[in-house]
């Protein structure tokens, strides 16, 4: 049996095809105007899921970068403070060596003692170094200073850490008690003893070994800070590389290939114009044609 094809059938079919062609053109024009392959998740659910995951990775990397930048600043502050303290202690050692000269008079000894007192005050200031209001040698303590007037360490023993990766954290402070000592065993008390010895006319060079011990402790802590700082710098480089990779993957999913979309749009326009011409030929008969 031959199915009956009427003009209404042809008209409906032709209009449906034209509408489909127009819809395809509209979709391509939307892609060109937005520059994106996916406007709503229903455009490509699988790709949309990948985009959500990659955007989550972007947010995590951005947070890790902020943490790493903060860690870099903390460790730079600690490094500068310990390096300055070492320079101060070396100067104190030189003065202690000079104070061992038995030919020095009381005036010279007083001058040496006064300078050592100044060095002790400078060391105490470096030991109480802060970063954005936080003492870098007192852990999580909120005492305001790492060492008080009696040279007691006010730290809590809990370190300040920053998460710079999904499974990676780094300590950004330093143990003030390990760097400077505490109380009567501190480097500050040591310089006070040397100053008192000079004023009393004694031989301060007996304290040289103690000074060397404190310097070794500072150097040991400085080495640890340097290693952690390198870890942070390496992490920052890795995070930058990861950020670029995620951006590249996201762009590959989300962004259009402009040349390809333009070509598709031109092809669709040719097809649409052809469909319009064909429809004009097919839909020419009217009621008057049948009444002749």
Least confident of 10-19, 202-211, 243-252: 10-19
Same domain, 113 and 61: yes
Sorting pLDDT into bands at 50, 70 and 90, what band is 244?
Answer: very high
Q: How far apart are CA 205 and CA 94, in angstroms?
A: 10
Same domain, 210 and 273: no
**What pLDDT is stored for residue 7 in this prediction?**
61
Same domain, 261 and 140: no
Same domain, 160 and 93: yes
Average confidence (pLDDT) over 176-184: 94
Same domain, 172 and 281: no
Q: Which residue has the higher pLDDT, 215 or 285?
A: 215
pTM score, whole prediction:
0.78
Q: Record the tokens describing residue 281, joined without a space.
A: 């030929």
- For residue 9, being part of any structural domain is answered with no
- Tell me the pLDDT tens digit for each residue of 181-197: 999 999 999 999 999 99
Q: Record the tokens describing residue 217, joined without a space.
A: 């402790």
Domain that residue 207 falls in: 52-250
- For residue 42, being part of any structural domain is answered with no
In terms of DSSP bridges, do strands 134-135 and 161-165 run parallel, antiparallel, or are they unpaired? unpaired
Contacts 24+ apart (CB under 8 A), 269-273: 269/25, 271/21, 272/18, 272/21, 272/22, 272/25
Sorting pLDDT into bands at 50, 70 and 90, what band is 52?
Answer: confident
- For residue 28, being part of any structural domain is answered with no
Q: Which residue has the higher pLDDT, 292 or 282?
A: 282
Query: Cβ of 224: how many Cβ atoms within 10 Å?
Result: 16
Same domain, 124 and 81: yes
Selection from 127, 160, 150, 154 nearest residue 142 by Cα: 154
Q: Tokens 């500050």 sit at which residue?
A: 188
Same domain, 269 and 244: no
Same domain, 132 and 270: no
Same domain, 78 and 196: yes
Same domain, 100 and 157: yes
């Amino acid at each position: 049996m031959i199915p009956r094809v009427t003009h209404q059938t042809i008209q409906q079919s032709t209009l449906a095809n034209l509408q489909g062609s127009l819809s395809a053109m509209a979709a391509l024009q939307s892609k060109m105007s937005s520059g994106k392959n996916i406007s709503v998740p229903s455009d490509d659910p699988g790709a949309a899921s990948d985009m959500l995951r990659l955007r989550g990775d972007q947010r995590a990397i951005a947070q890790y970068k902020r943490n790493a930048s903060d860690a870099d600043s903390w460790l730079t502050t600690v490094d500068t403070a310990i390096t300055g303290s070492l320079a101060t202690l070396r100067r104190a050692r030189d003065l202690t060596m000079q104070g061992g000269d038995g030919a020095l008079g009381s005036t010279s000894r007083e001058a040496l003692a006064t300078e050592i007192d100044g060095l002790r005050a400078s060391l105490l200031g470096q030991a109480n170094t802060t970063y954005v209001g936080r003492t870098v040698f007192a852990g999580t303590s909120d005492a305001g200073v790492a060492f008080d007037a009696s040279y007691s360490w006010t730290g809590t023993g809990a370190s300040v850490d920053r998460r710079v990766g999904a499974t990676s954290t780094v300590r950004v402070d330093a143990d003030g008690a390990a760097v400077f000592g505490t109380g009567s065993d501190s480097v500050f008390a040591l310089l006070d003893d040397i100053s008192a010895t000079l004023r009393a006319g004694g031989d301060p060079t007996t304290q040289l070994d103690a000074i060397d011990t404190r310097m070794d402790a500072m150097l040991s802590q400085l080495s640890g800070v340097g290693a952690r700082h390198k870890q942070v710098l390496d992490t920052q480089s890795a995070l930058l590389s990861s950020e670029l990779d995620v951006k590249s993957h996201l762009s590959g999913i989300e962004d259009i290939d402009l040349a390809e979309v333009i070509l598709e749009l031109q092809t669709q326009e040719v097809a649409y114009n052809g469909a319009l011409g064909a429809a004009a030929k097919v839909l020419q008969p009217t009621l008057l044609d049948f009444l002749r």
